[in-house]
């Protein structure tokens, strides 16, 4: 059996319809364009991956249905709750455009869930040495230009990378 056009169609469909848990971290409501981009990214992710659950961590924390769980428990510190969010998701897109998200990257890049982070950083910071080196070494970090940020290109790149994550998940959960 060759990899026919029909098989491509099936695989495309399966990848885009895979139930994924996606986190989007980044600037908060007062973050101006960075927050708008984050909201837009969530919208596009939801549109593209029809069965995905795309969340902001702050929404999970405020979800009354989850308040008795570690995901939103008032008994845990914010970074502890977010580690639970990260542990439960398939991929976490981090728009590295705010102080808070930078701190999240620095904190979580040392955890066993670090591989789930996909970090998007303005290329203006490409040579900043203080940024956690492990992320740069291991390919979690992607740089974007201001033009990409202003246009839809950045979101397109995120969608492509999330599709790669989805295919990896699909193949991992499929027995030979």
Binding residues for other proteins, rule: CB under 8 A, are 1-3, 6-8, 10-11, 13-15, 68-70, 73, 75-76, 80, 83, 87, 109-116, 134, 137-140, 160-161, 163-165, 167-168, 170-171, 174-176
What Cα–Cα distance (Å) separates residue 48 from each residue in 54, 145, 153? 11, 23, 15
- Contact between 94 and 101 under an 8 Å Cβ cutoff? The reply is yes
Q: Which is nearer to other proteins, 134 or 146 (CB)?
A: 134
Q: Which is nearer to other proteins, 27 or 45 (CB)?
A: 45
Q: How far is the CB of 114 from other proteins (least distance, A)?
A: 6
Q: How far is the CB of 26 from other proteins (least distance, A)?
A: 20
Q: What's the rounded Cα separation, in Å, for the pair 22 and 116?
A: 10
Q: What's the rounded Cα separation, in Å, for the pair 119 and 91?
A: 11
What Cα–Cα distance (Å) separates residue 149 from each residue in 12, 27, 153? 26, 14, 7
Q: Which is nearer to other proteins, 130 or 174 (CB)?
A: 174
Q: How far is the CB of 35 from other proteins (least distance, A)?
A: 27
Q: How far is the CB of 79 from other proteins (least distance, A)?
A: 9
Q: How far is the CB of 113 from other proteins (least distance, A)?
A: 7
Q: Which is nearer to other proteins, 1 or 29 (CB)?
A: 1
Give phi and psi for 172, each to the nearest 5.
-70, -30
- Output the DSSP codes for 77-96: -HHHHHHHHHHH-SEEEEEE
DSSP run (H or E) holding 111: none
Q: How far is the CB of 150 from other proteins (least distance, A)?
A: 25
Give the contacts of 40 (CB within 8 A, at least 6 positions apart). 155
Q: Which is nearer to other proteins, 29 or 160 (CB)?
A: 160
Q: Which is nearer to other proteins, 130 or 176 (CB)?
A: 176
């Amino acid at each position: 059996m060759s990899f026919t056009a029909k098989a491509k169609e099936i695989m495309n469909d399966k990848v885009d319809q895979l139930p994924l848990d996606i986190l989007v971290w980044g600037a908060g409501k007062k973050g101006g364009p960075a927050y708008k981009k984050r909201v837009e990214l969530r919208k596009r992710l939801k549109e593209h991956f029809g069965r995905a659950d795309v969340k902001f961590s702050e929404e999970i924390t405020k979800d009354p249905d989850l308040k008795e769980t570690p995901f939103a428990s008032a008994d845990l510190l914010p970074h502890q709750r977010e580690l639970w969010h990260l542990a439960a998701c398939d991929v976490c897109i981090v728009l590295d455009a705010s102080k808070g998200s930078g701190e999240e990257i620095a904190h979580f890049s040392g955890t066993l869930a670090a591989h789930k982070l996909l970090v998007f950083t303005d290329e203006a910071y490409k040579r900043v040495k203080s940024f956690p080196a492990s992320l740069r070494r291991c390919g979690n970090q992607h740089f974007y230009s201001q033009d990409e940020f202003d246009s839809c290109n950045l979101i397109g790149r995120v969608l492509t990378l999330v599709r790669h994550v989805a295919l990896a998940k699909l193949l991992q959960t499929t027995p030979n």
